[in-house]
Amino acid sequence: MCGRYASTLPPEMMEELFKLLNQIEMVPRYNIAPTQPIAAVWEQHGRREAHFARWGLVPGWVKDPREFPLLINARVETMAEKPAFRDALKHGRCIIPASGYYEWHTNPDKSKQPYYITLSDDRPMALAGLYASWMGPNGEEIDSVATITVPANRQLGEIHDRMPAILDEAAIDDWLNVLDVHAAEARQLALPLPDGTLKFHPVSTRVNSARDDDPGLIEPVTVMPPELPVRKKRVAGGGAQMDLF
């Protein structure tokens, strides 16, 4: 599951990398969280543009977004069948530009350690996503998105069993081309990256709070191994000694 990410790309770099016909005002973000407005790229009427959209997809048929579950991720295995995602897979594919994303590893003692994950060559990421537009009865309009997740490759499996679908440069055009590339073909583009394509390091648990958003969040930290559980073992004479297991 991808639940937090960073995006520090300047608008001019976004425009060049993703062949945009527009720019939107962006500031570097280091801890982007669900429900927040995020930058996403999609094509309409042959124009590829960046938009701000809510992270948490709201299909057009929803009556009240306040009563609808928060859908931040779509699993690649089921998105073609799920009512919330299948129309977006056909008509609303997008990419979410990112510099890197966070994932949490569960330690043996059940504590969770966050990691920051980037491409091994530090290039920007294009996360595969889906978008939808919701229109309210009083003219309200919400553009919203969900990222797509795939099974983790062996390298990332050390941290978590899922990872976002990250598109390479050759796949971006086909993913965004909803007119000529059908859903079944697009589905084949959302794949785990090969081992060695990514790198990662542990970061501060400050990232757990969406209130924190600064460059220090992506800096590596030293992680101490979790303490092993300790039990008392009886010894001869009625005493006890500590026993690690």
Which residues are known to be catalytic? 2, 103
Closest CA to 2 of 170, 214, 156, 124: 156
In the beta sheet, which residues pair with residue 130? 93, 146
- Three-point CA angle 50, 54, 55, nearest 5°: 100
Token digits of residue 237: 């004479």
CB 155 within 8 A of CB 196: yes
Burial class (CB in 10 A: 0-12, 13-18, 19+), 197: middle
Buried (b) or exposed (e) across 204-216, using 16+ Cβ within 10 A? eeebeeeeebeee
CB 163 within 8 A of CB 192: yes
